A = this chain, B = another copy of it.
Amino acid sequence: MAEKLELNKHIEFLEPPEGAETLRPKPVNLFEDNPINLSVLEGLKGRSILGVKDFKREEVIELAKLAAVLENFEIAPYHIMDGKIVTTAFFEASTRTRLSFESAVLRLDGKVLSIPEGGVTGVRKGESLEDIGEMFNAYCDMVIMRHTETDSAERVRRNLRVPLINAGNGSGEHPTQSLADWYALLKWRPELASPDPSKKSKRLCLGILGTPGSMRAVKSFLLMSLMFQDRISRVVVISQMADPFGEDLVAELKKAGIRYEVTNDMQNHVAELDVIYMNSIAFLGDSYKNLDSEYQLNKDSDLKENAVILHPLARLSELDCSLDNTAHNLYFSQAHGAVFVRQALLISISGRLNRLPKEIPTVK
């Protein structure tokens, strides 16, 4: 059934827009001198992912390397998840994230049971998440859930006997978004993934726009960044909140021994940052609003020459299109790569690493 693996078969989808040939880092850089250690990924079989702490750093790196292979090769003919059913339960609607996961499942020949929205579904008001978890056991082999409530992931998991991937739980976490974020950073600076200490890069200065204590994508990005604390010189959190962390995160920051600061003045800090994690919303203590103009970036912003911008997308005016065709644009690579790093995670959790083609570069 399987066809021969062909290098670069996907290359047509990887071409950057005209005039921007060098913008997107090449996935091949991530694995050509650094073959995948499948035994690390085998440990993910059957596991649930509720937050970033459910990953080890080496797992993040191996997932990124497998993602890079999947981004470069055509995996569909191998039917990796044949016969597996995945439920995408988006009780809080998100077309972008839902499609990213569903595309990953379908590309691997898995099946999707889709709940695109909580409001119109027949899941009766008042039915408990514990009962919904019990129901999922019969329907599928894995659940990917987004929900407005922070305790939703823990509650649905109580009766669940199949793995759960948290795709966003209230003000909790969004661990696969940070996988996508870091996959983009590792493609951009492959030496971050290298076990060879002589390849260590200069430490990075990370800027994070947002309130990690209450914005789940920001929190997960920060937590995953702490895993790479030895590669980071400083974290600058740009927020209108005086304390954007909360107790738990402050403890995490201290444990990691990382240098960090908080500011509400983005423009005056831009020139110091190697990586800027942007966002389209701000958390203001008890609600969200779109960002003010002082938190906008465009091609005239005072960016460092080699700085890159991440953005979980969708974006509004805070990230101007004039940046799209510049080398600062890592956000398109980040969005594109999200599908592949999710594929890597799905293969690992569903125990189907043994169906990968033999030609992929792995540690022997």
A residues contacting B by CB (< 8 A) are: 1, 12-13, 15, 17, 74, 76-77, 82-85, 87, 90, 92-100, 102-103, 106-107, 109, 111, 113-117, 119-124, 126-128, 130-131, 134-135, 137-140, 159, 161-162, 280, 313-316, 321, 332, 335-340
Report the bound CA distance from A92 to B122 in whole Å.
8
Report the bound CA distance from A126 to B314 in whole Å.
9
- CB pair A134–B332 under 8 Å, yes or no, is yes
- CB pair B93–A120 under 8 Å, yes or no, is yes
Q: How far is the CB of A14 from chain B (nearest CB, A)?
A: 9
Point out the residues of chain B lying under 8 angstroms from A82, CB to CB. Answer: 76-77
Point out the residues of chain B lying under 8 angstroms from A321, CB to CB. Answer: 128, 130
Are A313 and B131 also in contact (CB < 8 A) when A93-B122, A338-B138, A339-B138 are?
Answer: yes
Partner of A113, one of B99, B109, B140: B99
Are A127 and B13 also in contact (CB < 8 A) when A95-B121, A120-B93 are?
Answer: no
- CB pair B161–A12 under 8 Å, yes or no, is yes
For the complex with contacts A96-B123, A116-B116, A138-B339, 11 further pairs of A-B residues with Cβ separation under 8 Å are: A13-B138, A17-B159, A83-B109, A85-B103, A85-B106, A90-B122, A95-B121, A116-B121, A117-B121, A128-B321, A138-B338
Q: Which residue of B lies closest to A104 (CB)?
A: B139
Report the bound CA distance from A332 to B140 in whole Å.
16
Q: Which residue of B lies closest to A90 (CB)?
A: B122
Are A135 and B316 also in contact (CB < 8 A) when A76-B82, A113-B102, A119-B120 are?
Answer: no
Q: Which residue of B lies closest to A119 (CB)?
A: B120
Are A123 and B314 also in contact (CB < 8 A) when A137-B13, A138-B335, A138-B339 are?
Answer: yes
Are A98 and B76 also in contact (CB < 8 A) when A15-B161, A127-B314, A134-B335 are?
Answer: no
> What are 10 contact pairs spanning A and B, CB under 8 A?
A13-B161, A76-B82, A90-B122, A96-B135, A99-B115, A103-B138, A106-B111, A116-B121, A126-B316, A127-B314
- CB pair A315–B117 under 8 Å, yes or no, is no
Point out the residues of chain B lying under 8 angstroms from A162, CB to CB. Answer: 13
Point out the residues of chain B lying under 8 angstroms from A314, CB to CB. Answer: 123-124, 126-127, 131
Point out the residues of chain B lying under 8 angstroms from A335, CB to CB. Answer: 134-135, 138
Q: How far is the CB of A48 from chain B (nearest CB, A)?
A: 14
Q: Which residue of B lies closest to A139 (CB)?
A: B103
Are A315 and B131 also in contact (CB < 8 A) when A83-B77, A98-B122 are?
Answer: yes
Point out the residues of chain B lying under 8 angstroms from A93, CB to CB. Answer: 120-122
Are A76 and B87 also in contact (CB < 8 A) when A95-B122, A121-B116, A127-B314 are?
Answer: no
Report the bound CA distance from A106 to B88 in whole Å.
14
Q: Which residue of B lies closest to A337 (CB)?
A: B138
Point out the residues of chain B lying under 8 angstroms from A87, CB to CB. Answer: 99
- CB pair A127–B315 under 8 Å, yes or no, is yes
- CB pair B113–A103 under 8 Å, yes or no, is yes
Which 8 pairs, one residue from A and one from B, show the smallest C-beta to C-beta distance?
Answer: A76-B83, A94-B122, A127-B314, A95-B121, A106-B111, A103-B139, A138-B336, A95-B122
Point out the residues of chain B lying under 8 angstroms from A83, CB to CB. Answer: 74, 76-77, 107, 109
Point out the residues of chain B lying under 8 angstroms from A100, CB to CB. Answer: 138-139
Q: Which residue of B lies closest to A161 (CB)?
A: B13
Q: How far is the CB of A320 from chain B (nearest CB, A)?
A: 12
